[in-house]
Amino acid sequence: AQKVTQAQTEISVVEKEDVTLDCVYETRDTTYYLFWYKQPPSGELVFLIRRNSFDEQNEISGRYSWNFQKSTSSFNFTITASQVVDSAVYFCALTPAGSSASKIIFGSGTRLSIRP
Amino acid sequence: GAVVSQHPSRVICKSGTSVKIECRSLDFQATTMFWYRQFPKKSLMLMATSNEGSKATYEQGVEKDKFLINHASLTLSTLTVTSAHPEDSSFYICSAPTSGVDTQYFGPGTRLTVL
């Protein structure tokens, strides 16, 4: 069975602090994709990153960075120097690789609040 | 990236009426689209997989007679909530994968309120 766990339901930090959102997944597939999406109050899902299970290199994009560790089945997301605009719900997700028509399994989401 | 649109973005209807939500892939063709439902402060739950030219595949517990899905063309899937009731009030989101790329693009969502 596939499962994505985001243990942190809500996080609140003061602006400019760094914050890490945890994601742990379970899958029996040997190849898969992991995703992070941002959902601001408007409701639209914003794609942030896709990571192939074969690629364990960490990635940095501006203030965002992702740490993928296959050994612990984790795909954590860190925001450096957080800003108020980062306030949103963040979802970690998983899908088998090899078919673009595969279902996406979402975690329960972490609601991030950045206080000025 | 690819663009998926949804219409309407927000709808309020009376109990007992039916509501149709459209999902369109604007710059690519999608033989498959997905419909999700999201309750307030909850995650997205997959309702069904919409297949162009064939019947939709529904997830366990989703009433197919209640949530009618039609995938009439390679760029359009519709979700009709029949005889809507207040408990059907929710945020409905569709997604579509682009061919050859294992990434799905999501529509902006439709907020349904049934009075």
Reported as a single tens digit per residue, the pLDDT across B56-90 is 999 999 999 999 999 989 999 999 999 999 999 99
B23, B81, B26: which is closest to B52 by C-alpha? B23
- Token output for A49: 């990153």
DSSP letters spanning A40-82: -TT---EEEEEEETT----EEETTEEEEEEGGGTEEEEEESS-
pLDDT at A100 over 60: no
Q: CA of A93 to nearest chain B CA: how many angstroms apart?
A: 10
- Token output for B7: 């219409």
B108 to A42: CB separation less than 8 angstroms, yes or no = yes
Nearest Cβ partner for B109 among A44, A95, A108: A44
User: Cβ of B106 under 8 Å from any chain A Cβ?
Assistant: yes
Residue position matching structure tokens 């997205």? B44
Arithmetic mean of pLDDT, A56-80: 93
Give me the half-sphere count of Cα atoms (radius 13 Å) on the Cβ side of residue A15. 6
Tell me the pLDDT of chain A averaged across its residues. Answer: 92
In this structure, are residues B37 and B88 in contact, taking their beta carbons and an 8 Å threshold? no
pLDDT at B103 over 80: no
B34 to A107: CB separation less than 8 angstroms, yes or no = no
Q: CA of A69 to nearest chain B CA: how many angstroms apart?
A: 21
Tell me the pLDDT of chain B averaged across its residues. Answer: 92
